[in-house]
Amino acid sequence: MSSQLSSLNQWVEDVARLTQADRVQWCNGSEAEAAELRKLMLASGDLIALNPDTHPDCYLHRSSPSDVARVEHLTFVCTEQEIDAGPNNHWMAPAAAHAKMDALFEGCMKGRTLYVVPYCMGPIDSPLSRCGVEITDSPYVVLNMGLMTRMGADAQARIEREGTFVKGLHSTGELDPERRFIMHFPQELSIKSYGSGYGGNALLGKKCHALRIASYQARQEGWLAEHMLILGLQNPKGETHYIAAAFPSACGKTNLAMLIPPEGYRQEGWKIWTVGDDICWMKPGEDGRLWAINPEAGFFGVAPGTSAKTNPNALEMLNRDAIFTNVGLTADNQPWWEGLPGEPAFDWQGRPYDPANGPAAHPNARFTVGAKQCASWSHQAEAAHGVPISAIVFGGRRESLLPLVLEARDWTHGVMLGAAMGSETTAAATGAVGVLRRDPMAMKPFCGYNFADYFAHWLSFDQPGVSLPRVFHVNWFRKGSDGKFIWPGFGDNLRVLEWMIGRVEGQFEAKDTLIGRLPKSGDIRTEGLTLPAAAMATLFEVDEARWDAEYQAFGEYLASFGERMPAKLVDELNAIRARLKPAADLRKAANG
């Protein structure tokens, strides 16, 4: 027996003793195993079988009404020194965190089965992949991990070969919000989560491992673990460029990753290939380019907002072999959420639908499905070497100020654009909706260490001999004076992606402005759109006075991280502000 297998066995034994589980089940990832778990959950009422004619092998799970989203205020990064976690994280000393969690775990699995879930994040044979083991008492978690990761015997075999894995311990506990915590120990490569059965709090391979722990690992090992989709954009000549893009949760990542080109583009031969919709791990290759994998094997997407108009590829893949969480139900047992045809009979809590109780589907209702069911899924998602990234895109939900698309002048400027990202909050996280918050690289809830060190790590990739991707910032959500979105979005976002790749290939020049490079008039194709010239002008308007105020606030944000903030980033910001201020003062004077 290898020392690592011995270590794994010992850990499982220790946890079984602590939690007093009735039995221990090692999961092998087989279909027979999944079928037994579904049978168990159907019998207990934890799963509801959906209409077998319209949605074969699809199931609904309803979580506790108090357990429907990430709980960032109860999520901690536990490093020996508080400064290493940074002001971007809630911190607790590791010894105190372990003591608090072990007291909760003590005896919590009496009468329950302890499931041992070995999994691989990324293609099973990829050198970019990393493995973990989740111990859980939730069969719902096991089923979802089976869809979201390469879970089972192959992952366990890799763990035995490699001799390292991330330890994740989870229990639903009593589902008591007062006894709910998610603790991360990046220096130990371990996670402890108690009191929640919801997605990112319970599926420890996802945000906990693939972002919070992996981002720390990546800094130690010289790569990047990012909250990004990966798509392939194939042009009519058959050439494919890969784009990694960061957006806060529920701001359109999945829709962009599965984008269907407008009719005219489809006729020309443009195609979109989906590599991943949420997480991207990137590492410099021998050729100096960044190569990326999607560590996930499935999609854990937000159901509301997914429709035939917004994302037909996603809707089509949900007709079989899917798990739905907190959606409504029609009278004939089909999943339902706002935006779909038909009417709901029951809401997400199982009550007869009454608009007075709110929407039928919870705003953060989810679907879990294997990635290969997506019509636009790329076989390159299984490539052990990953895919080369041509462009990195940052984006947020801003009603004004941010143009439709902006290109960074260089890598340092691109890092600054990513660090300055801001977006209105959504239902994917607990708390108020519609509040603007700074969300650098869409990693505010997910970076496993101090943001100042994280920015420095990004900057460190700019070295002689590398061929880094071009960096862009997009804003699909700018509104006009009538309060309506100006840009049509959805499939038409391909028009912006086309310009980006044109920039990568040297086809287009760009207009230099004080905030970065903008498309020249006519370089973004608008044929087929009812978008007047005045609207396009608004999409690319640069208000120097407002930008000066924006960057003054951003400077204060950077200063909040203290001396660890890299001088290179502060210098970049100050240089831009020095150019902006005279123009801003002139505009103020002209406006009286």
The binding site for GTP comprises: 250-255, 366, 397, 490-493
CA 158, CA 161: separation in Å to the nearest integer?
5
Catalytic annotation present for 251: yes
Residue 581 CB neighbours (<10 A): 16
The C-alpha angle with vertex 23 and arms to 22 and 26, in degrees rounded to 5, equals 155
Is the dihedral angle over the CA atoms 345, 347, 352, 356 positive or is it negative? negative
| Burial label, 245 (beta-carbon count in 10 A; 0-12, 13-18, 19+) | buried
Residues whose CB is less than 8 angstroms from the CB of residue 136 and which lie 6 or more positions away in sequence, other chains included? 114, 115, 117, 142, 170, 171, 202, 204
| Nearest by Cα to 369 from 289, 313, 310 | 313
Give the residues across from 293 on adjacent strands. 281
CB of 86 closer than 8 Å to CB of 453: yes
Which H or E run includes 415?
A: helix 411-419
Amino acid (one-letter) located at 265: Y
Give the residues across from 588 on adjacent strands. none
Residues whose CB is less than 8 angstroms from the CB of residue 553 and which lie 6 or more positions away in sequence, other chains included? none
Q: How many residues comprise the chain?
A: 592
CB of 246 closer than 8 Å to CB of 473: no
The active-site residue, picked from 108, 251, 280, 374, is 251
| Binding positions for Mn(2+) | 207, 227, 278
Block residue for tokens 């079928």: 35
| Binding positions for substrate | 70, 198-200, 249, 364-366
CA 345, CA 130: separation in Å to the nearest integer?
43
CA 208, CA 446: separation in Å to the nearest integer?
8
CB of 224 closer than 8 Å to CB of 281: yes
| Binding positions | 70, 198-200, 207, 227, 249-255, 278, 364-366, 397, 490-493
Which residues form the catalytic set?
251
